[in-house]
Chains A and B, each alone.
Chain A
Amino acid sequence: METVYFIILIPMVYAAFAVFVLGVVIRLVKLFREPNNPTTLQIYPEKRPRWLWALNDTFLLPTVRRHKPVFWVFLMLFHICFLLLIIGHLELIGDFRFFQLIPHEVFLGKGFVGLILSVCVLYFLFRRFSSPVRELSIPEDYYLLILLFLTIFFGSQMDWARRWYDYGNLSVVEYREYVLSLLYLRPHVSSDLTSSGHSFMLVLHVFFGNLFFMFFPFSQLMHSFLSLPMNKLRRG
């Protein structure tokens, strides 16, 4: 079991990181080296400044708000919480004063960020079970949502354990030690991390997270990078 834990927590993390970074970079480079379309792909009436409206389209999703307001609420909550989650993970690396503008305990959101994300992902998943989105969906869409749910759920469990049901054996100190050791290329997994009753949650969180990152560059998740250039095409 120790060996499995070790493989998931160290080599697989590096492998996932490499696949993610290289995959994303190679795909973006290949994509943006393609020739431009000879004609404009704009929709009228146009609004200026175009880049500002493209930013608005990308980050505030006005078309979704207009046509599917409930979905929009879940989408906005999901994306905002996802951002908070990234910040939370960055704070495992060190204390960024910038992030502590509003003083908080790592992770952000007192456990609610994870809870909201879990609920949102379940909503995204369940709406794919009903027509017409069911007919539009392909296996990739389900795999990704399930993977995302598992990653978020096991990650959040660790947070909830500490905050909501007083489980004190694993804390941010241990996580930080592990993350920094990975970052400084001196990977080390302390026995605290693997011997606690909740260790399996950490291992599963990292395992599913690794799979998610490895799948990322080859999937529709690239919309996180491509949405802005696409909206710019529509705005002209």
Chain B
Amino acid sequence: MLKLFQSKLNEAMRLYLETCTRCGICTEACHVYASMGQIKYISAYRHEIVRRIYKKYFKGRGKLWPSVGESKELSERALEELYEAAYSCTGCRRCMVYCPFGIDTQMLMSIAKLLLIGAHAEPEILTLLADTSIEKGKSLELFKEGFLTGIKNLEAQVVEKWKIEAGEKAIPVDVEGADLLYVALAGAHSIVPAAAVFNAAGENWTLSFFEAVNFGAFVGDPTKTKLILDRILDEAKRLKVKEVCICECGTAYRLMKQLSGNQTFRVSSITEVHARYLREGRIKVDKSKFKEPVTYHDPCQLARNAGVIDEPRYILKHLTHDYREMSPDPRYNWCCGGGGGLVVLGEENLDFRMKSARVKAEQVKETGAKILATACENCHTQLGNLNSHYDMGVEVKFLSSMVADALVR
């Protein structure tokens, strides 16, 4: 277990573990604390749960004078605390905006998640899903046929949405030398609208065999995260594409953008690609398509943590006459409460997810918007749940679907 802890220690992690002054500035940063008011949800409190174990096993004074830093053994009780801290944190990094030192809670929670894996106390479903993804990468041939049949069924929907020229393939797969590799999620909603827009823009694209979502990252297993990511990197290299475009999945985009290292291809999110098509005049959309007021929820991993902030707003300016901003500063947009794998746990933590995101629901209501657009699968699911729970009276839509729906020739 301690080896697992050790494996997470690098310069940044040690800085985060050794500098907190527990000043309490981060108190109001966490949506869970803001919604539920329990001390255990304050970022600094979450940090201390990891930090106490760090002091016990990695710092001299944790051994010599344990009481001064309240260092703590890695016991069963400590594991329970780690679970509670890690799986109530969405990794949105809003607290990092508050902290005078910029301590990254998501990083510290990644230690907690790894220790839980070591103790086989992580949510099993996440590991199971991660293993399935890896298995698919290993034995692609087994999955290929089923996948291609599924795609064939979707093509009819694309044709209906966007009448393509005869001879063209509505959803090209495995095209060597394509310009763009689109990595989608398993589901028509992630493939059909995207395909319609790519085709409308005349893009030379191909669909990836693999889904973008990285369950390895959600469960906090660095080895599995890398294996899942590598499947897509290998495919991109094999097909010699110039660009890898990640669907509306915040974590997948951030991982690909920031963890893939130096590659010959560029990495974009579908939101960036759509904004580019609009800017270059490659697609045209009908601005009067959505008549009701629209607001946009910034997925934390896409905006605050990866910088895709202006593009969705640029797109929305083309889609509606009535766009309403949620927060004057996108860094302060509340997290929806579904990130970090929480939404994947489904019914198991639905009650917590709803209670912990009260502030998000209020933020949405205050805009008075009727359409709530977002560009992340997890956010979309969570916002949908919030919509029914808090009676928000909005329609939650994917931004990419809105673009596809508003396409004009």
Contact = CB atoms under 8 A, between A and B. Distances in A.
Given A35-B11, A132-B42, A229-B15, A139 B331 contact: no
What 7 A-B pairs are tightest by C-beta distance, nearest first?
A234-B102, A44-B307, A133-B24, A34-B11, A37-B12, A39-B258, A230-B101
Interface of B: 9-16, 18-25, 27-28, 39, 42, 44-45, 48, 59-61, 67-70, 93, 96-104, 107, 258-259, 303-307, 309, 330-331
Given A132-B39, A133-B22, A136-B44, A41 B100 contact: no
A123 interface: no
Contacts of B61: 218
Interface string A14-39: 00000000000000000110111111
A64 B100 CA distance: 7
Contact of A137 (B14, B22, B96, B98): B22
A138 B24 CA distance: 12
B306 A44 contact: yes
Nearest to A223: B19
A222 interface: yes
A212 to B, nearest CB: 14
Contacts, number: 135
B69 A61 contact: no
Interface of B (DSSP majority class): helix
Given A133-B23, A226-B19, A227-B101, A43 B12 contact: no
Interface of A: 31-32, 34-46, 57, 61, 63-64, 67-68, 71, 127, 131-133, 135-141, 143, 218, 220, 222-223, 226-227, 229-231, 233-234
Contacts of B48: 136, 138
Contact of A44 (B12, B60, B68, B304): B304
Given A35-B10, A136-B42, 9 more contacts: A36-B10, A45-B307, A45-B309, A133-B23, A137-B22, A139-B70, A220-B22, A226-B18, A234-B104
Nearest to A141: B22
A63 B12 contact: no
Nearest to B102: A234
Contacts of B100: 57, 61, 63-64, 227
Contact of A231 (B14, B70, B102): B102
Contacts of A138: 22, 48, 68-70
A40 B255 CA distance: 11
